[in-house]
Amino acid sequence: MLGKFMKIIDFFNEKQIDLENKKLLVAASGGPDSMALLDMLKDLQKKQKFELIAAHFNHQLRSDSEEETRILKDYCQKNEIPLFVAKWAKNEQPKSGIEAAAREVRYNFLTKIAKNETADYLLTAHHGDDLIENILLKFIRSGNPEEMNSLQAVGVMHGVTLLRPLLSSSKQEILAYDKERGISFIVDSTNKEDDTMRNRMRHHVVPILKKENPALIQNALRFSHKMSDLTNVVDEKINEIGTIENFLGQAYRIKSSEIKRLTKDQQIVFWQKIIWQKFHRRVNKNLGNFSVIEYQGFVYLYKNNLEISKKIFTIKINEPFIFNNRKLLLTTKDNMSKKKLGDFWFDCKTEFKAGVLITGSKFLLQDGTRVKAKKKFAEHAIPFALRPLCLAIYADREPIFVENTYQNQNWIKNGKHYFLYAN
């Protein structure tokens, strides 16, 4: 048994992943699977030169969560493995949808550690039984092939390369490894209950299927590999369509002429892919909590619950400020290294305010007349729902700049050139 598991190096060879001088971050829970993975990698360090670190997120949802942390700390201290630990504050835990929220906050923590520590890979201890359960659960809940194929051996999470080297191994084999190596771990007591569909699947359905075919894990892996091949073909087709651009921080858009190269069904697949890539959400054909609209030659994608600020506040030149969760900077310096969002000329002694554009505003034109803001928004292909995302800059209560829409048109004696950047 031990000899088999020490062939974990086969995973890296098959995937052509060179570990030499790399940094590996293991998502460790204190359970049997992640403890086994940590131990296998620690042994592998005897043969290959790489750095090993671990991260543990304590959800504080079970009475034995502190014991999990203690076991991990003891193991990592004994084996000189740097360990990063964080807790999920009780007041931050939602009253409903806690499983999905726990997963999101955990992966946010793990990917943040991976980026902060410049880790090359984030490794999780998902195994073959997890893969079977995932395929069955997704088949029951949605039937979406991409969801059924979400547990990939190699993937990407929030810009971090994710590895799952134990997918070809069963839970039984991992437990046998732990026993042979004398590894301490905590068994999640909630896994013994039948209150969730996953647990019922694990306790009753999967054992029956394994009796029907002991090679069930190999079949699940084969299904996953084939689905990956098909998905790659779809991705290549989608990549030929054109570039989709971020718009105002919370939306994305593409030219209508590009998206219309696809059939209606292909367009749904396209947006499902984009939602997964940009928002990390799996959605069905109605696109869930997202909207897709066509307006003035563009097709826009955005969340239905946009984060919109209605405040107007004073800003200072050369000092960053936040608007609709975007960090921005107004300066008189033309900085080519930053993303420029717009520019305008105005008096150098003006106190500027910024925020959302006031409803019913009109813009002063060069000839002294005024034009309604909604007309300028339409001219610049900005749909109604996204207009509150455009930053407005005021001077003496007069809008002198609106992102992607308008800039002061009157000549200013001894004026200065101002630049707005994404900071």
Question: Looking at the structure, do residues 217 and 251 belong to the same domain, yes or no?
Answer: no
- Residue 170 has a pLDDT of 93
Give the model's pLDDT for residue 143.
Answer: 80
The two three-digit tokens of residue 209, written as one number = 């299927």
Distance CA 231, CA 145 (A): 9
Q: Domain check: are 365 and 252 in the same one?
A: no
pLDDT over threshold 80, residue 404: yes
Last residue of a domain, one of 262, 286, 303: 303
228 versus 79: the higher-pLDDT residue is: 79
Q: Which of 205, 230, 255 is the last residue of a domain?
A: 230
In degrees and rounded to multiples of 5, residue 300 shows phi and psi of -110, 145
Q: Residue 237: inside a domain, yes or no?
A: no
Domain that holds residue 295: 242-303
334 & 366 share domain: yes
Q: Three-state SS string across 384-408, please?
A: HHHHHHCCEEEECCEEEEECCCEEC
Helix, strand counts (H, E) of the chain:
14, 21
242 annotated to bind ligand? no
Number of domains in the chain: 3
Statement: the pTM of the whole predicted model exceeds 0.85: no
Same domain, 155 and 75: yes
Once rounded to an integer, what is the mean pLDDT over residues 72-94? 90
Q: Which residue has the tokens 């394994």?
A: 210
Considering the domain architecture, whether residues 221 and 324 belong to the same structural domain is answered as no
Instruction: Decide if 235 is inside a domain.
Output: no
Is the same domain home to 174 and 316? Answer: no
**Which one, of 7, 8, 41, lies nearest residue 24 by Cα?**
41
Share of the chain above pLDDT 70, in %: 98
Which among 371, 352, 365 is positioned nearest to 313, based on CA atoms? Answer: 352
Among candidate residues 189, 205, 230, the one where a domain is terminated: 230
CATH of the domain at 134: 3.40.50.620
The pLDDT score that the predictor gives to residue 92 is 78
34 is in an annotated binding site: yes
For residue 5, the model assigns a pLDDT of: 54
194 known member of a binding site: no
Query: Could you tell me if 341 and 409 lie in one domain?
Result: yes
Looking at the structure, tell me whether residues 296 and 375 fall in a common domain: no
Instruction: Please check if 168 is assigned to a binding site.
Output: no
C-alpha Rg value of the chain to the nearest Å: 27
The confidence band for 334, taking pLDDT boundaries of 50, 70 and 90, is: confident
For residue range 89-136, list pLDDT tens digits in order: 777 777 777 777 888 889 999 999 999 999 999 999 999 999 999 999
pLDDT over 60 at 1, yes or no = no
Query: 336 and 292, same structural domain?
Result: no
Assigned domain for 236 exists: no
Are 98 and 128 found together in one domain? Answer: yes
